[in-house]
Amino acid sequence: MKKLMLQAKFGAELMTAATATLMLWASAASAQEVNLTFESSGASRKLGGYMPQRLQLSATQPEGLKKAPAGLTAPLYGQLKLGPAESPMTVLVVLDEPDQKDARLWVDANGNGDLTDDPPAEWQGRANPAGGKEFKTYSGGATVKVAYGPETRELHLAMYRFDKNDPSRAQLKNVLLYYRDYGFAGELKLGGKTCKAMLSDDMATGDFRGKSGEARSGVSLLVDVNGNGQFDRKGESFDVRKPFNIGGTTYELKGLGASGGSFQIAKSDQTVEEVTPPPTLAVGEKPISFERKTTEGKAVQYPGDYKGKLIMLDFWATWCGPCRAELPNLVTMFEKYRSQGFEVLGISFDQANAEEKLAKFAKENKMGWPQIYDGKGWQAELGQMYGVDSIPRCLLVNGDTGLIVATTENLRGDKLEPTLKRELAKLKK
């Protein structure tokens, strides 16, 4: 009898162990392996935005600097950490800004403290008139080599700097702004649907696990849930350290390392509410109509008031560096093609009590188009309506068909004029 009881107990233990093994196997089987491809540069444009980080500059030479470039006359120094949190590399930066001369930038891309043996950093100035004076904004960046154990990755950091003499940017006099231009891209399958995905190191730390114990880890998984070809921050951007809901199922990431790229997506034991993406505002879709008053008190019905026109809806702000950098090009195109039917309607993301600043800025920069401004910054009503979470953001609409004909990626830089020529030709027909 005792022998039978022992056999039964042993059999139960075997059954329990087998059941546990089966459960673990089932859990592993339900987790999806994801392998994204690393892109050392160009990710910011694909992601549709970035979060500028501040690098504090000082005239004091850092201890880690072993060899400085020759001929420095007005140097400012900075250092940032990049890579796995347990063993980040120190990246030294030197910015030389002599008066009445072009600024120069050096970045210690290999982290050895020697600023004379690295590839030249990209650094170009662009004039920005303001207040009757001309100031220079510089932009560029550098590619830094970061070690992840035995593996080394090249991470491109984009950088920009406002004129140190610009009184409207006094708080940034000793600051260099930078952001990640690297990331991971590929596809994943959720609920039987294949979606484009990207992994973004928003805070540019070089550690794709993100920071623990923070309200936001600083690393996001972006999934094109609605399939419109772009990543919306609302409903398509998920913190890698938190569970997220897509299509009514709550998921979480597992096995994500500092170097990123490979991880699992598994169903979570937790349940969180699903956040749906904003309306699809792709080429061929209709924009969201609205009626508002401009800063001059004129009522505007959009897009109804623009029959026979090609109208660009431009989300921007006076404090937005990329917006200001793009402005001279937009002004030139507006003046050149307005007589052919090109119009612009600005939606300002400036904060409260900025009416005078906005009006002055628009006049000084020859912005001859109307502006809509409600003083709510990132919470601007039209911005919320359109799901805008990064600027500059713009849409081009054919006033006759009422359909979107181009989006941000084809409305900036050297892509703007060819787009306008093509769509104005269609408008005339």
> Considering the chain, what percentage of its residues have pLDDT values greater than 70?
93
Which CA distances in Å does 163 have to 44, 71, 175, 364?
23, 21, 10, 17
Rounded CA-CA distance 216/193 in Å is 27
CB 75 within 8 A of CB 62: no
Checking if the pLDDT of 26 tops 60, the result is no
Question: Taking the C-alpha atoms of 276, 278, 282 and 286 in order, what is their torsion angle to the nearest 10 degrees?
Answer: 120
pLDDT of residue 28: 39
Average pLDDT over residues 145-160: 96
- Displacement of CA 332 from its chain's centroid (Å): 26
Q: Which amino acid is residue 31, in one-letter code?
A: A
pLDDT at residue 30, rounded to an integer: 67
Q: Which string of DSSP letters, residue by residue, matches 225-245?
A: TT-SSS--HHHHEEETTS-EE
Beta-bridged to residue 196, according to DSSP, are 187
Q: Give yes or no for a cis peptide into 303 (omega within 30° of 0).
A: yes
Q: Using the predicted structure, report yes or no on whether residue 21 has a pLDDT greater than 60.
A: no
What is residue 62's three-state secondary structure? coil
The helix/strand/coil state of 369 is coil
| Distance from C-alpha of 87 to C-alpha of 152, rounded to nearest angstrom | 13
d(C-alpha 143, C-alpha 84), whole Å: 17
pLDDT for 90 beyond 90: yes
Q: What are the CA-CA distances from residue 268 to residues 201, 252, 321 (Å)?
A: 23, 6, 40
Mean pLDDT of 102-128: 96
Name the pLDDT band for 131 (thresholds 50, 70, 90). Answer: low
Amino acid residing at 346: G
Residue 275 has pLDDT above 90, yes or no: no
Query: What pairs with residue 266 in β-bridges?
Result: 252
Reduced to 3 states, what is the DSSP secondary structure of residue 263?
Answer: strand
Q: Is the pLDDT of residue 280 over 80?
A: no
Band (pLDDT 50/70/90 cuts) for residue 8 is very low
25, containing H or E segment: helix 2-30
Q: Is pLDDT at 1 greater than 60 in this prediction?
A: no
User: Is the full-model pTM beyond 0.75?
Assistant: no
Q: With CA atoms as reference, report the closest residue to 103 among 94, 90, 111.
A: 94
**Range 269-282 average pLDDT:** 87
Q: What is the pLDDT of residue 19?
A: 34
- Model confidence at 246, pLDDT cuts 50, 70, 90, reads very high
Radius of gyration of the chain (CA): 26
Q: Which of 11-15, 50-54, 130-134, 237-241 has the lowest mean pLDDT?
A: 11-15
In this predicted structure, which of 145-159, 160-174, 223-237, 302-316 has the lowest mean pLDDT? 223-237
Cβ–Cβ under 8 Å, residues 227 and 242: no
Q: Is the pLDDT of residue 18 over 50?
A: no
Q: For residue 146, what are the β-bridge partners?
A: 153
d(CA 4, CA 130): 93
Whose CA is closest to 90, among 114, 60, 119? Answer: 114
Going by C-alpha positions, the residue among 371, 349, 344, 352 that lies closest to residue 360 is 371
Q: Averaged over 346-357, what is the pLDDT? A: 94
- Beta bridge partners, 86, equal none
Instruction: Report the range of poorest mean pLDDT among 136-140, 143-147, 191-195, 368-372.
Output: 191-195
pLDDT reported for residue 17: 36
Q: Position 263: which residue type?
A: F
Amino acid type, 197: A
**SS3 (DSSP) at 405:** strand
Alpha-carbon distance of 304 to 286, in angstroms, equals: 12
- Domains in the chain: ranges and CATH: 32-48+183-267 (no CATH), 53-180 (no CATH), 290-428 (3.40.30.10)
Question: At residue 179, does pLDDT exceed 50?
Answer: yes
How many residues does this entry show for the chain? 429
408 pLDDT more than 80: yes
pLDDT band of 367, cuts 50, 70, 90: very high
Range in 69-78, 112-121, 270-279, 346-355 with the lowest mean pLDDT: 270-279
Number of helices (H) and strands (E), helices first, in the chain? 7, 24
pLDDT value at 4 more than 90: no
d(CA 92, CA 340): 50
Beta-carbon count within 10 A of 373 CB: 22
Mean pLDDT of the residues in the chain? 90
